[in-house]
Amino acid sequence: MKMLVSTILLSATTLASAQSTVSRLCEDLPLNGTVRVSAPPSRNNPLPANYGLRRTGEREYEVYFNLEFTATPSYTGPHRTKERLNQHYKNSMRECFQNNEDELVDEFQRKLKLKVYDGPSSPFGEAPPVVKIDIVGDGARANAAAYPQSITCSTIIHEVLHLTGLSDEYPETALTYSGGDTQGGQPAAFDCRPLGPRDSIMRDQVAALYHNGQGLYSGHVNMIIYPGCRQNNQRYMACVKFAYETSAANRNSSTRWFDCATRIPDHCRSEDWVRISQ
């Protein structure tokens, strides 16, 4: 079957492709259909999304990442050329994804398989957007754009899912609202962040993958398979927009006009906000 390819452009609100049978972001991809997602942060989602999506079954999808790794001065590993560095980390990611491919299933049995894009020979024909990732020393905290050189598999999965637009769901304990660490007794940043279930991969990836956690919930999967669709992601987007906001009270401000704590919808205060239905 000929592969159907669509693209979400940076400023697009609909899928732009004359070939595609997908006319709106809110429709299901056809079997073997693909979509190339490249979307910037927005007021409804603080994170960008850069990935490729392919539907392989009634409830199964492949999610492709096109990654480029670069060693920073703090890197002390043995892979001194860019080619060897990329080969090492891409191979590690492939093994990690394969070992956990049965774990990323939501409560409706919709399954995601994470994939490293391998070029034109890949089942996902058009290259997904390139995402550049720095490799840093092991003392650094992982984020979606920088990995410590000995990053664990569970952390890799958590971080690459940020590339699909999924935000953190854990209580912040390391950073203050002013940007420093919390050892000085300052209030933690992002105190408006809605917290996910304790077995959500975006809250605790170790619990999600290795302690019989759910891992992914329906809100997560909807965000990935209906990229940019406000209709299908309304419940999730209403909460995730506060994931990286800090309250005015935490900033010791005298005004509460911009206090995110007063604007969070009630359903975001329950850990079930990551579900699309109750």
State the greatest distance between any 2 C-alpha atoms of the chain, in Å, as a whole number.
62
The helix (H) or strand (E) run that includes residue 96 is: helix 82-99
Beta strand 49-55 with 60-71: parallel, antiparallel or unpaired?
A: antiparallel
* Domain ranges, ordered by start, for the chain: 4-274
Distance CA 20, CA 7 (A): 9
Q: Which residue has the tokens 């079997």?
A: 31
Q: Which residue has the tokens 């709106």?
A: 24
The helix (H) or strand (E) run that includes residue 35 is: strand 33-39
Assigned token pair, 36: 């190339």
Cβ neighbours for 69, distance < 8 A, ≥ 6 positions apart: 82, 85, 86, 89, 90, 132, 133, 134, 135, 147
Cβ neighbours for 2, distance < 8 A, ≥ 6 positions apart: none
Determine the pLDDT at residue 266: 95
Determine the pLDDT at residue 24: 52
What is the DSSP code (8-state) at residue 178?
A: T
Determine the pLDDT at residue 183: 64
CA distances from 88 to 54, 69, 80, 84 (A): 25, 10, 11, 6
- The alpha carbon of residue 175 and the mean position of all alpha carbons in its chain are separated, in whole angstroms, by 20
- Percent helix / strand / coil, the chain, rounded to 5: 25, 20, 55
Determine the pLDDT at residue 237: 96
Distance CA 198, CA 268 (A): 15
Cβ neighbours for 33, distance < 8 A, ≥ 6 positions apart: 3, 4, 5, 6, 20, 21, 22, 54, 55
Determine the pLDDT at residue 222: 97
pLDDT tens-digit readout, 3-56: 333 444 333 333 333 233 233 589 999 999 999 999 999 988 999 999 999 999
Flag whether the pTM goes above 0.75.
Answer: yes
b/e map 97-114, b = 16+ CB within 10 Å? beebeebbbbeeebbbbb
Distance CA 272, CA 278 (A): 8
What is the SS3 assignment for 30? coil
Determine the pLDDT at residue 174: 85
Q: Which residue has the tokens 């995110």?
A: 260
Q: Which of 21, 1, 112 is nearest to 59 (CA)?
A: 112
Cβ neighbours for 139, distance < 8 A, ≥ 6 positions apart: 74, 148
pLDDT in tens, the chain (278 residues): 333 334 443 333 333 332 332 335 899 999 999 999 999 999 889 999 999 999 999 999 999 999 999 999 999 999 989 999 999 999 999 999 999 999 999 999 999 999 999 888 888 878 999 999 999 999 899 999 999 999 999 999 999 999 999 999 999 988 888 776 666 677 889 999 999 999 999 999 999 999 888 899 999 999 999 998 999 999 999 999 999 999 988 887 766 667 899 999 999 999 999 999 64
